[in-house]
Structure 1
Amino acid sequence: MGEIAERYRRHADAFERKVAAVQPDQWDNPSPCARWSAKDVVDHIIAMHGYMLPAGHSLSPAPDDPLSRFRSARADVEAVLGSELAHEESDTPAGRMTVADHIDQVVSDDMVLHGWDLARATGQDDTMDPVDVERLWAATSKIPPELMEKCRTPGAFGPGVEVYGPEVEVPGDASLQDRLLGLIGRDPA
């Protein structure tokens, strides 16, 4: 659990810094995610935290500002990662796994990718940690074509759920970060 909790903490720290740096007049800025503003990106990450909690648990009430809501959702997930609940298994769209593994594979990684979206929407540094880029590239580039097609199909995992957009071609000499972004449907340019 230590590695998963540590990775989650690193990703949450980086995402929280980006949320804290958003200026009040930037929340409505468009993001690289089609139809989403900067605030929508943060709202998505907060909602995903709630989906990661074990059955019967929900996010704690929080003040209605993005930073406070993120910090509260983060505290809820960190509490789960530090408890026996992290070892419980449940069925997920990717198969049966522990709560900790589900957090690691979904919301923890989501904070890296959507951190880029938030940074782009608000003019912040959008450089991802190279260690995370390598790990995400290794996992994402190995997704079987039929599953990748499902990930690119809006609604395939539930109403309104769109995992990846259509692949964006990037130059052959593009950085690994840009290749990863293109693979998941983001235009790094």
Structure 2
Amino acid sequence: MTNDETNDKPVAELLQAAARHAVPVVRGTRDEQLGDRTPCAEYDVRALLNHLFQVVINFQALAARRDTDFSAVPDVVGEDGDWRERFEKETAALAEAWAAPGATEGAAGSMGFPALTLARMALGDLTVHAWDLARATGQRFTPDPAAVADVLACFEELAPTARAWGVFADPFELPDPASASDFERLLAVTGRDPRWR
């Protein structure tokens, strides 16, 4: 399946758009909020930020067909330096990596997923976890509509496997699915309550 079959924009452009929406949320996260809970039960704000770094760094490597280690979560927030500034740089590098010639072709990673599917997984993490972070820190977040549409199609297809692996929780039952937005449906597919506070 080519990117054009699901969306008019290349996935690298969608990653750029998702980053534009995610970066302000990361920049708006205050140090005193790092211990607060998030919609991801296993993560507080600090752990969620570190997971986001893990995602954007490892998926750069996957685009370039380099080895990755998803078992190691870097404590970027605990390191010296400006992690907010670094997040903006790493997300820019993520989009650049997937824009490279051939990055979305063939398979990648130790499990041999289609490379384009992996790029969409990164896009989904960046979009959904930005919402998680915004909700946890009391910020507004409006995702990129094209990114949401692209990820929703991918995640609906991947959901059974993701649940079997424990990556997604059971789907959240929306009270009125017919009137739900694409983003609410995406959150529900991943097991999130769109009204979480």
Smaller-chain TM-score bracket: 0.7 to 0.9
Q: 1:134 aligns with which of 149, 152, 162?
A: 149
* Aligned partners of 2:56 and 2:122 also within 8 Å: yes
Structure of greater relative contact order (alpha carbons < 8 Å, 6+ residues apart)? 2
Of all paired residues, the percent bearing the same amino acid is 25
Q: Return the offset for 1:121.
A: 0.5
Q: Provide the residue aligned with 1:169 in structure 2.
A: 173
Aligned-partner Cα distance in 2 for 1:148–1:87: 21
* Aligned partners of 2:123 and 2:151 also within 8 Å: no
Matches within 5 A, 1:31-180: 31-52=38-59, 53=61, 54-56=64-66, 64-84=81-101, 86=103, 89-92=106-109, 95-98=112-115, 101-102=116-117, 104-141=119-156, 143=157, 148-153=159-164, 156=165, 162-172=166-176, 173-176=178-181, 177-180=183-186
Aligned-partner Cα distance in 2 for 1:78–1:107: 10
Aligned-partner residue type, residue 151 of structure 1 = A
Q: Return the offset for 1:69.
A: 3.2
Q: Return the offset for 1:118.
A: 0.6
CA change 1:93–1:123 in 2 (3 A) is farther
Q: Report the TM-score, using the length of structure 1 for normalisation.
A: 0.75
SS in 1 for 2:37: coil
* Aligned partners of 2:38 and 2:136 also within 8 Å: yes
1:185 to 2:191 alignment: yes
SS in 2 for 1:86: coil
5+ residue gaps, structure 1, are 157-161
CA change 1:83–1:140 in 2 (3 A) is closer
* Aligned partners of 2:117 and 2:154 also within 8 Å: no
Aligned-partner Cα distance in 1 for 2:142–2:96: 29
Q: Report the TM-score, using the length of structure 2 for normalisation.
A: 0.72
Aligned residues: 174
CA change 1:103–1:181 in 2 (3 A) is same
1:27 to 2:42 alignment: no
Aligned-partner residue type, residue 134 of structure 2 = A
5+ residue gaps, structure 2, are 4-8, 69-75
